[in-house]
Amino acid sequence: MKFAVFTVMMPDCSPEETVRLLQKHGYDGVEWRFTNPDQSRSHEAPSFWGNNRSTVPADSTEEELRQIAAMTQAHGLEIPNLAAYIREGNLQATEQAMKAAVLLGSPSVRISVPGYSHDTHYWDALKAGKGYLKQVEALSKQYGVQGLIETHHGNIACSASAARRLVDEFDPQHIGVIYDPGNLVHEGFEAYRMGLDILGPYLAYVHVKNAAARHIPGATPPWQVEWRTIDEGEVYWPQVMEALHDIGYDGWLSMEDFSLARPTEEALAHHISYIKSLL
């Protein structure tokens, strides 16, 4: 297997510091966060989704993207995916991300999925999602970059089975799924091996993080999910790794820790050591 880090978890590091630390701790790749930073938050302390310094701006020039690619390669790192933040159904942003992926040498980009809330009509959202993916599939054929949805709470691909229902009429060479069992904690549980079997050829790679529910009296609802370190939470990673082994998976594992339990460099060292211990 190969090991990467989704740079959303390294908000206090510049791109130069990011690749240096990943090389130092034995990672094979970097999954760049790809979005335009909110300049109004640049004065804030570094944070995952606010002032995140380990970000490749979506409006980067071709020359800037080539510089990022060269710097990444100079540290012996691959870019397994470009983690874009694309608004639901935004085809223009999707194409922009694919063009950037070509320049960076990334084989895939993360794309959007229709959200889900109490007033969403699921079948309408599914139809809209499939309509968007049909267009993404055409772009994928044009640019040679795979479009990836992610199993994520709050949208209609909140489990492996729901994700498969969304993608199952498309060519897995062009449309795939990022399997993230940590996100599944927010909305329930689906057996790991079963979920991987359901995804089948659509499994692109795996995000590695963890979370757990905590009872908060008086809150609505009274159980709230909080992020935890990879080895402490409701996702039992020894079982996930066993399931991945059983299906013959030998691809990327990309760390995405939001627990704040350790400083960034300490977390990088801990996570790769723990996951490698399960191989």
CATH of the domain at 149: 3.20.20.150
- The SS3 assignment for 51 reads strand
Tally of domains within the chain: 1
* pLDDT for the residue 275: 98
Span of 2-6, 24-28, 41-45, 262-266 with lowest mean pLDDT:
41-45
Per-residue pLDDT reduced to its tens digit, 177-215? 999 999 999 998 999 999 999 999 999 999 999 999 998
| Residue among 113, 224, 115 nearest 175 (CA) | 113
Cβ atoms of residues 24 and 17 within 8 Å = no
The tokens describing 12, both together, are 């206090």
How confident is the model over 44-68, as a mean pLDDT?
96
> Scanning the structure block, which residue is given the tokens 């999925």?
113
| Residue among 48, 82, 16, 102 nearest 254 (CA) | 82
Per-residue pLDDT reduced to its tens digit, 82-108? 999 999 899 999 999 999 999 999 999
* pLDDT of 256 above 90: yes
* pLDDT for the residue 223: 87
CA 179 to chain centre: 8
Domain that holds residue 103: 2-277
**What's the whole-number average pLDDT of the chain?**
96
Cα distance between residue 80 and residue 82, in whole Å:
7
Per-residue confidence band for 218, with pLDDT thresholds at 50, 70 and 90: confident
Query: Interior CA angle at 244 toward 242 and 250, to 5°?
Result: 125
Q: What is the pTM of this model?
A: 0.96
| Residue among 257, 266, 157 nearest 208 (CA) | 257
